[in-house]
Structure 1
Amino acid sequence: MTDITPAEKDGKYKFTISYSERELSCEVEKEQNTLHVTIDNNMHATLKIDNEGNVTQTDGAAIPASTIEYIKKQVFGHV
């Protein structure tokens, strides 16, 4: 059976990021251990959160590690 109970911090997040020397909109929808990322309404990626809180990209347009770390901080706070 799959657990579909909302996890901590589940929901939608909107903020701006610096990407390729430009300020772009970033929308993130967190569902359980998955982050669905949309940058500038046209670049999509899927990130997975492991049990230790590490975030890795599993699908979509390549996102730099520094941007993934920034997204993690925006969703989970400065940890």
Structure 2
Amino acid sequence: MIDQKDTKPAAKDGKYEFLINYSERELTCRVEKEQNKLHVFIDNNINAELELQANGNLTQVSGNALPDSTIEFIKKHIMEQ
């Protein structure tokens, strides 16, 4: 039996690109949002996956460890546009 998952685009799904201050440097940050997953690519060498929780918080589930301040910045940039 095939598991039926919700595959409809969620609000704000898509690709985003913006500058972010990371380790005292201004770097390009690319985010691909799919449903409740955010795939984060910073300066082509830092990768992480974030998951949007039901309560609205973002939790890192894999990849290079990101500081909480960076996760919060990404959340504000993507979710509050």
TM-score by length of structure 2 reads 0.94
* Structure 1 unmatched runs, 5+: none
Tell me, in whole angstroms, the C-alpha distance in 2 between the residues paired with 1:62 and 1:70: 15
* Count of equivalent residues: 78
CA deviation after TM superposition for structure 1 residue 52, in Å: 1.1
CA deviation after TM superposition for structure 1 residue 77, in Å: 1.2
Q: Rg bigger for which structure?
A: 2
What is the RMSD computed on CA atoms of the aligned residues?
A: 0.9
SS at 1:53 equivalent: coil
1:68 to 66, 71, 78: 71
CA deviation after TM superposition for structure 1 residue 42, in Å: 1.1
CA deviation after TM superposition for structure 1 residue 47, in Å: 0.2
TM-score by length of structure 1 reads 0.96
Query: In the alignment, is residue 6 of structure 1 matched against residue 9 of structure 2?
Result: yes
Tell me, in whole angstroms, the C-alpha distance in 2 between the residues paired with 1:30 and 1:20: 24
Tell me, in whole angstroms, the C-alpha distance in 2 between the residues paired with 1:35 and 1:28: 6
